[in-house]
Amino acid sequence: MDVALVEYDVELITEGGVIYDLDNALISLAWEEQEGQLAQKAVVTVVNIKTGSGYLMSLAKLNCMIRIYAHWGAGRQKMFEGSIWEWSYTSAQTKELTLTVYDPMIRLQQCKDIKYFSPGMTTPAMLGSICGDWGVPLAYKWDQQITHEKKVFNGEAVSDIITKLLEEVRQQTGERYVALYKDGALTVSAYGTNSDVYVFDTLNTISTSDKLSMSSLVTRVKIIGKEDNQGRSSVEAVVDGDMRFGILQEVIKRDNDKSIGAAKAEAQATLKERGQPEESIMLNSPDLPFLRKGDAVEVAAGNLIGKFHVLGVSHNATQKQMTMTLRRAG
């Protein structure tokens, strides 16, 4: 595709259902989704122009809808839809109205709940129960799941409950997942399921950065048992990883509901994820508005060669650029 052809449209849907095209008033437009966040976020800044029904500041109320479209010669396609969560007006020379918008997953991040799950339930069953409580369709496309122990959540953010359950699967299987709002549902899938994989080389990459750190490195995991009456815990197993970097130890506490085999599997998953120095990779390029968190890309720029997964992406429609945080695939 020719990124020079990319254009963007923004619509406001008022409380009464009237649709306003904001393109002529648009000052800046950006949207993003980052690792660890279920909700996608957009920031739209417009001039407070006067319409036949009043100024934009009186029409763009909290909880009204904003839609972002992009087209690049393949038809107009919706990139983002969400509700206005924050409203800010500046009475300066340009009289700017800034709208911070989130997709429906923001309600799962903002709301807290209580939840009890009996032992033996599968991951999709648990997530389906949570999503059913909140009227959110679930598309569980990840080929990994486990049978969980008893779970009790008291007054925790709904998104945190979802993340904790998925993290337990990741810890036991060593496989990574991505969770985001897509096609009207909370979608859970593996990384790199996109059919079209785009290549970023020296011709279409603005800049890259690559950083290595030992700050979160783990080379040994010690598994301890339940405390005795004196508060002491015995060491039940020690699992070593790559010891070239010395001993950097993590501790897993095994309670009565977790077998020693499950604890060792969790230790191995920890070493698989954190057993090498952490690499932080960023890439800045012309914008591909449809590229999302979880997609696979190929890079041949700077010192980055190979296939990578997108951990987070920020689209700057004003500058027609995007910034991705990446992880090496495999």
- Here the CATH number for the domain that contains residue 116 is 3.55.50.10
More confident residue, 250 or 228: 250
Nearest Cα neighbor of 151 from 162, 143, 136 is 162
Residue 81 is classified by DSSP as E
Q: Which strand (E) or helix (H) includes residue 263? A: helix 260-274
Q: Looking at the structure, do residues 99 and 113 belong to the same domain, yes or no?
A: no
Whether residue 39 has pLDDT greater than 80: yes
Q: Looking at the structure, do residues 205 and 312 belong to the same domain, yes or no?
A: yes
Q: Looking at the structure, do residues 141 and 178 belong to the same domain, yes or no?
A: yes
Res 195: pLDDT: 92
Contacts 24+ apart (CB under 8 A), 239-243: 239/264, 239/267, 239/268, 239/271, 241/271, 241/275, 242/271, 242/275, 242/276, 243/219
Res 254: pLDDT: 86
pLDDT in tens, 64-101: 999 999 998 878 899 999 999 999 999 877 789 999 99
Whether residue 138 has pLDDT greater than 80: yes
Structural domain that includes position 288: 198-213+278-328
Q: How confident is the model at residue 14 (pLDDT cuts 50, 70, 90)?
A: very high
How many separate domains does the chain show?
4
- Residue that is last in its domain, among 253, 274, 295: 274
- Residue that is last in its domain, among 103, 129, 156: 103
What average pLDDT score do residues 36-49 get?
95
Q: Looking at the structure, do residues 99 and 12 belong to the same domain, yes or no?
A: yes
| pTM attached to this predicted model | 0.88
pLDDT in tens, 153-206: 999 999 999 999 999 999 888 889 999 999 999 999 999 999 999 999 999 999
Q: Looking at the structure, do residues 91 and 209 belong to the same domain, yes or no?
A: no
Q: In degrees rounded to 5, what are phi and psi of residue 68?
A: -115, 130
Q: Which two tokens mark 217?
A: 């490195």
Residue 12 near residue 64, CB atoms below 8 Å: yes
Compute the C-alpha angle 274/34/77, nearest 5°.
135
Whether residue 269 has pLDDT greater than 90: no
Is 246 strand, coil or helix? coil
108: number of Cβ within 10 Å: 22
Q: Looking at the structure, do residues 126 and 177 belong to the same domain, yes or no?
A: yes
Res 262: pLDDT: 86
**Residue 12 exposed, middle or buried by CB count within 10 Å (0-12, 13-18, 19+):** buried
More confident residue, 111 or 175: 111
Q: Which two tokens mark 279?
A: 């690499």
Compute the C-alpha angle 37/39/45, nearest 5°.
115
What average pLDDT score do residues 193-221 get?
95
Whether residue 3 has pLDDT greater than 80: no
Percent of all residues in the chain with a pLDDT value above 90, rounded to a whole number: 82
Whether residue 109 has pLDDT greater than 90: yes
Res 85: pLDDT: 98
Q: Looking at the structure, do residues 204 and 320 belong to the same domain, yes or no?
A: yes
Q: Looking at the structure, do residues 203 and 295 belong to the same domain, yes or no?
A: yes
Q: Which two tokens mark 317?
A: 């429609």
Res 297: pLDDT: 97
Is 11 strand, coil or helix? strand
**Residue 213 exposed, middle or buried by CB count within 10 Å (0-12, 13-18, 19+):** exposed
Res 256: pLDDT: 72
Residue 113 near residue 136, CB atoms below 8 Å: no
Res 2: pLDDT: 76
Res 87: pLDDT: 97
CA distance 328 to 276: 13
Res 169: pLDDT: 93
Nearest Cα neighbor of 135 from 188, 185, 206 is 185
Whether residue 231 has pLDDT greater than 90: no
What average pLDDT score do residues 215-239 get?
91
Q: Which two tokens mark 169?
A: 């699967």
Q: Looking at the structure, do residues 205 and 305 belong to the same domain, yes or no?
A: yes
Whether residue 265 has pLDDT greater than 90: no
Question: How does strand 220-224 pair with strand 249-253?
Answer: parallel
Which string of b and e fits 23-62 if b means at least 16 CB within 10 Å?
A: eebbeebbbbbeeebbbbbbebbbebeeeeeeebbebbee
Q: Looking at the structure, do residues 87 and 170 belong to the same domain, yes or no?
A: no
Q: Looking at the structure, do residues 15 and 32 belong to the same domain, yes or no?
A: yes
What average pLDDT score do residues 288-313 get?
96
